Structure 1
Amino acid sequence: MNIDLEKIQVTHNPAENRFETWIEGELSKLDYMEDRDSILMMHVGVHPEHRGQGVAGKLTRVALEYARDKSLRVIPMCTYVRAYINRHPEYAELMKQQTGE
């Protein structure tokens, strides 16, 4: 199945600490933990049938925009999120250096 990313709606589900999208009844999500000034992006999980079609990127972009809007520093615990930020330097200023702060 080819996914039209423009039609994919990512929603913020703070009760579950995740950004999520449902495609054909299957959940894909980005899990996070948030405190008053930072957000730890823990894991991006995309249903196997929907991998390789940009779903993880859209979840990550929406989560990073949320962090930017709330002036949160991003701590990318997930390797996908870290790689996404490296590929999209417009988000680099959001990344918090892990220096034991």
Structure 2
Amino acid sequence: MSLTIQHLPEQSRFQAVIDGHTCLIEYRLDNNVMHVLHTLVPKEVGGRGIAAEMTRFALETASNNNWRVHPVCSYTVAYLKRHPEYTNVI
């Protein structure tokens, strides 16, 4: 799946609109540490890999900006366990 994901730094979030439903990842940036707080994919569009693609995008953004990632969100914690290629950001 290829999503159009927006990084909205002024709102501290990443978002994609799928079939009229807003999917998002909320974070807080503190001294170059991105605290990933919450991942939301409405049930109407769930099961399509949206959270995974958005999390990958968020982690790539962190890596490209030399940010460390502190995963508060349980989904992000699980994603990082399944994707050791992102250990460079935690």
1:99 — aligned with what?
none
> Would the aligned equivalents of 2:21 and 2:45 in 1 still touch at CA under 8 Å?
no
1:25 — aligned with what?
20
Where in structure 2 are the equivalents of 1:19-98 lying within 5 Å?
19-95=14-90
Q: Note the residue ranges of structure 1 that are not aligned, 5 or more in a row.
A: 96-101
Among all aligned residue pairs of Structure 1 and Structure 2, give the percentage whose two residues are the same amino acid: 36
> Would the aligned equivalents of 2:12 and 2:27 in 1 still touch at CA under 8 Å?
yes
Quote the offset at 1:52 in angstroms: 1.4
Q: Note the residue ranges of structure 2 that are not aligned, 5 or more in a row.
A: none
- TM-score computed with the length of structure 1 as normaliser: 0.85
Higher strand content, 1 or 2: 2
Aligned Cα root-mean-square deviation (Å): 0.9
> Would the aligned equivalents of 2:19 and 2:45 in 1 still touch at CA under 8 Å?
no
Quote the offset at 1:11 in angstroms: 0.6
Larger radius of gyration: 1
- TM-score computed with the length of structure 2 as normaliser: 0.95
The total of aligned residue pairs comes to 90
